[in-house]
Amino acid sequence: MPAIVAEALTKHFTPEIRAVDGIDLDIDDGQIFGFLGANGSGKTTTVRMLTTLLRPTSGRAQVAGLDVFSQPGAVRRCIGVALQEVGLDDIQTGRELLQLQARLYGLASSGIAARVQQLLDIVDLADAADRRVKTYSGGMRRRLDLAAALVHRPKVVFLDEPTTGLDPISREAIWRYVRELNTSEGVTFFLTTQYLEEADRLADEVAIMDAGKIVSQGSPADLKSSIGTDVVTLRIDGGPDELKRGEAAVRRMEGIEDVRIVNDAVIVYVADGSAAISRLVLLLDEASLRAREVTLAQPTLDDVFLQKTGHHLEDGSVAPQAEQNALAQSKGHGR
Amino acid sequence: MTLVLHDTWYLMIRALKESIRQPALEIGNVFIPMFFFAVTVGAIGNVAGKAFGVTNYTAFQLPVAVLQAVAGASGTAGLATVGDIERGYFDKLMLTPAPRISLVLGRLAADGVRVMALTILIVVVGLLFGSGMKSGPLGVVVLVAMGGIFGLAYSGLGMALALKTGSAQAAQLGFLIFFPLVFLSPAFAPKAVFSPWLRFLATINPVTYIVQGMRDLVLSGWDPASLAAAFGAIAGLGLFTMTLVLLALRSRTS
């Protein structure tokens, strides 16, 4: 049985602001699914719909075999959610917060203390368990938030940008917990991220979201091999004019799949990169241009992202108004 | 129903912990009703008998102090909910299978408990200064319960505004609305001495019946009709504010 299914899932805040524009998902049980996209691409809005926090404009979705919109209570019993904005109560201690969470999920009183202690041990917060949450660092808060999402042993866990803003050690720790839970308990993870490395290292399958639509989907290896070429990056001395001339010059070479200008470089997609480099440099030389740096690489998810969306992931927001709208939905008045 | 009560109970405990761990936030809620109680009785108490035939003005004012305690506490649930929304904790609670009504009732019930604690304090001070309690110890229990239920019902207004707007300023609007309601009731003088237009407004004001019900417990003893009117007014107000709360809660997911 698929863990998550969505058909033509859509959320339009206004006719112009199409945060999510008819996406389809079919995520197998036990997968780690990476939902990759820039700020404002519609990732958070998708998570809010799949976790019953937001009604869609149209479309349908099922989580753990339950209809998200007609059985929201049953869905909430099966899922764990750690949203992008860590949702904690500063006045409680870490232990109290988990205990309350356990009670609200209906865990038997006799088992709550042991389950809470187990989770505190898993996320390395046992020593800080009786301190108020307001004294926790950013990494500790993330870990507590993750523990709160796991208290009732959910089948499906949604993590919305779980490592954004964390230092590398805390990030590694979160990845380790996700992998362990996925392996040992078969928990399905739906993980949104804007970190390519995170998607590459954690996810069994990745969907690339851009401007409210899924533009590509597959395993990280399949997505990278779909490019079918090496990637040669030519950093050229000069400004935008030189870059345009450089692009025109290298396009003359036979066997080139694609050429793009990205920031201060010309990116060339070519089947045999090592054989093409000398010819590319020669073509630049003939155009009176000098490459100050030439690199050859296998395609990364960033290259896939660039090819599918026309921009790098770190280039910034695609539809920031949609994300702001979703944020306003959660913080301010409802619509 | 059991689930609603179970989850409401634990969320109420959590809300009360906030008061215990941040006692400074409660200073105003204690000080304001006590201050106005003392000042009003001190200023008008000696002339109240001649002016409008009230000989025990301390007893006459005791319910007003309780109403002011309700006004003070009425913003707490809404303000705290705005804090939960801003911190993202409200979403965390919304993601649990807890009945959504429990998420708001927990905080509103905590406001009710705060008002009950303040009412006990006000009654003790009133008794020390000669208010008496014609309905006896059971009357104190009913008065405290009435204050608590009214506090819970009235706090629903601030809660609805908090849920709808996510704004701290809006959440405190209930506090501002409370003052016209008190001044348009026989809070400071009997309705009999009001001019006709004010008497009309007092008659349609639900707070009038709540003040009168509480006042009768202190000054006159048991009056079933008066108590029924008071509890009826509280129930009507509660129905109104809870409807607003549920509509606001629903709007948060649409």
Q: What DSSP letter does each residue of A189-233 carry, written as one string?
A: EEEEES-HHHHHHH-SEEEEEETTEEEEEE-HHHHHHHH-SEEEE
Q: What is the pLDDT of residue A325?
A: 46
For residue range A61-98, list pLDDT tens digits in order: 999 999 999 999 999 999 999 998 888 999 999 999 99
Q: Please judge whether A91 and B18 are an interchain contact, meaning their C-beta atoms are less than 8 angstroms apart.
A: yes
Yes or no: say if B75 and B171 are a contact pair by the CB < 8 Å rule.
yes
Is the distance from CB of A332 to CB of B166 less than 8 angstroms?
yes
Task: Determine the Cα angle at A326 with ends A323 and A327, to 5°.
Answer: 90
pLDDT by residue for chain B (254 residues), tens only, comes to: 788 999 999 999 999 998 888 888 788 888 888 999 999 988 888 888 788 888 899 999 999 999 988 888 877 888 899 999 999 999 999 999 999 999 999 999 999 999 999 999 999 999 999 899 999 999 999 999 999 999 999 999 999 999 999 888 888 887 788 888 999 999 899 888 899 999 999 999 999 999 999 999 999 999 999 999 999 999 999 999 999 999 999 887 66
A190 conformational bin, left if phi > 0, alpha if psi -120 to 50, beta if neither: beta
Give the pLDDT of residue A264: 84
Residues of B in contact with A83 (CB under 8 A): 88, 91-92
3-state DSSP percent of chain B in helix, strand and coil, to 5 = 85, 0, 15
pLDDT per position as a tens digit, A199-245? 888 999 999 999 899 999 999 988 888 877 888 999 988 888 999 99
Instruction: Give how far the C-alpha of residue A115 lies from the chain's centroid of Cα atoms, to the nearest Å.
Output: 29
Backbone dihedral region of A210: left (phi > 0), alpha (psi from -120 to 50 degrees) or beta?
beta
Expressed in angstroms, the distance from the first to the final Cα of chain A is 34
Q: Does A327 touch chain B (CB under 8 A)?
A: no
| Helical ranges in B22-135 per DSSP H | 27-52, 57-87, 89-94, 100-128
Instruction: Specify the pLDDT at position B254.
Output: 65
Pick from A104, A132, A334: CB nearest B253: A334
Q: How much is the pLDDT for A110?
A: 93
Amino acid identity, position A298: Q
CA atoms within 13 Å, Cβ hemisphere of B102: 23
- Residue A41 — left, alpha, or beta (φ > 0 → left; ψ -120 to 50 → alpha)? alpha
What strands lie across the sheet with A213-218, from one edge to the other? A79-82, A156-160, A188-193, A32-37, A205-210, A213-218
Tokens linked to B12: 């109420």
Chain B residues lying within 8 Å of A86, measured CB to CB: 88
Can you give the pLDDT at residue A314?
Answer: 63
Both tokens assigned to B65: 């102090």
Residue B211, sorted as left (phi over 0), alpha (psi -120 to 50) or beta, turns out to be alpha
Query: How many interchain CB pairs under 8 A, A with B?
Result: 95
The whole-angstrom distance between residue B101's C-alpha and the CA centroid of its chain comes to 20
Distances B29 to B34, B61, B125, B175 between C-alpha atoms, Å: 9, 17, 15, 12
Tokens 């006990």 belong to residue: B120
Going across the sheet that includes A18-28, the strands are: A18-28, A2-12, A58-63, A66-67
Q: Count CB neighbours of B84 within 10 A.
A: 21
Interchain contact, A87 vs B88, CB within 8 Å: yes
> Model pTM?
0.81
Cβ atoms within 10 A of the Cβ of A210, count?
22
Q: Looking at the complex, does the CB of residue A251 fall below 8 Å from at least one CB of chain B?
A: no
What is the ipTM metric for this complex? 0.85
| A9, A105, B26, B83, B95 from A78: Cα distances, Å | 20, 10, 39, 27, 11
Residue B248 touches chain A, beta carbons under 8 Å: yes
Interface test with B, best of A11, A53, A104 (most B CBs within 10 A): A104
- Which residue in B has a C-alpha nearest to residue A72's C-alpha? B97
B86/A contact by beta carbon, under 8 A: yes
pLDDT, position A254: 85
Cα–Cα distance for residue pair B141/B94, rounded to 1 Å: 35
Number of Cβ atoms within 10 Å of the Cβ of B204: 8
Regions of chain A short of the pLDDT cut 50: 315-335
Contact yes or no for A92/B14 (Cβ under 8 A) = yes
Alpha-carbon distance of B117 to B147, in angstroms, equals: 9
Helices (H), chain A: 43-50, 72-78, 94-104, 109-122, 138-150, 168-185, 196-202, 220-227, 240-250, 273-286, 301-309, 320-331
